[in-house]
Amino acid sequence: MNQTKDLQRAVELLYKSKDISHKILQLSFHEDTFIEELNDLQQRQEIVRAELQRLFLINSALLGDEIKALAADCLQVEEQVKTKLTNFQSQIQREFQQFKQKSNIMKNNYGTYVQASGYFIDRHID
């Protein structure tokens, strides 16, 4: 009976992990709350993974064909997440490099103007 409950819990956790991965895929990088939402989802996923690992360590017999198939599905979705995040990172790096190049062009073309601050005293001699 305990093994049946553990199996049901493992299946439930794998579906939950897959659902979290799909939510990560649906996040928009251009939203202001993107980082917060991503961190929250990743923390939830870590909790799920830790519980799955605990279940499998306690009862290795749970690793049947159904669990392996679900785990493969989860890994496939997580690979999509990894690809999406890697592409986003590359895009940000390209945009940063373009900004840096434009900044260097501005410095080279327009130079840096320095204005000394101080006082000018005009002395009239009558």
Q: State pLDDT tens for residues 39-65.
A: 999 999 999 999 988 888 877 777 778
pLDDT for res 65: 82
- H or E element in which residue 101 lies: helix 65-110
Q: Is the pLDDT of residue 109 over 80?
A: no
**All residues at 6 or more sequence positions from 49 whose CB lies less than 8 Å from its CB, including other chains:** 17
* Exposed/middle/buried for residue 80 (C-beta within 10 Å: 0-12, 13-18, 19+): middle
